[in-house]
Amino acid sequence: MNSSMEQKQAPSEYQANLEMLMQTPVFSRLSLEPLKLLAYFCKREVFKAGEIIFRQEEPDANAYIIIEGKARLVRESTEEETVGEFGENDLIGGMTLFYEMKRLFTLKAETKVSCLMLSRDRFQKTLEQFPEIAHKMFEAIVRNVYEWESRFVSEHGLKCAQCRGMLGVSLL
């Protein structure tokens, strides 16, 4: 089989982007038309092991979905403290699509990481054309925050006096 025939049979990057978005909880409840536009707007980026994906205290207008690989979220101070780990199908930075902010943490590739990236500008263009998606996405983000805080309270919140004073983000 020649390579041109193989290319026709292989799924397109656009189709793969669309499928990835459909599997990501924040995007999964959106109708097909805005998802198609978002899939078109997404770009792919590959990071080598050890490479910085985004850096703490720097603005970054992208949301990332990890296609493959593992990344580590760290808080940089006098020492580098691991805050969390991310892998395939994880969305990082979804709130930046709605609001410009500096990153609170640094995200480093632990292995080779392939990401699907969506910029705030491209997302906002989609939002202008399909304003109804804002409600569904906001609902999904709020659900994620609530679930995170529920897990945190059940695992740590009542054991740590300092932590208790920081809880309540789901009450905002």
Q: Domain-by-domain residue ranges, the chain? A: 3-121, 132-172
Residues 83-120 have pLDDT tens digits of 899 999 999 998 899 999 999 999 999 999 999 999 99
Q: Is 18 helix (H, G, I), strand (E, B) or coil?
A: helix
Write out the CATH class of domain 3-121: mainly beta
Q: Which residues contact 150 (CB under 8 A, 6 or more apart)?
A: 170
pLDDT tens, per residue, the chain with 172 residues: 444 444 443 469 999 999 999 999 999 999 999 999 999 999 999 999 999 999 999 999 999 999 999 999 999 887 888 989 999 999 999 889 999 999 999 999 999 999 999 999 999 999 999 999 999 988 988 888 888 878 877 776 567 666 666 666 656 5
Kindly report the number of other CB atoms within 10 A of residue 33's CB atom. Answer: 12
pTM: 0.83
Residues 114-132 have pLDDT tens digits of 999 999 999 999 999 999 9
How far is C-alpha 54 from the geometric centre of its chain's CA atoms?
12
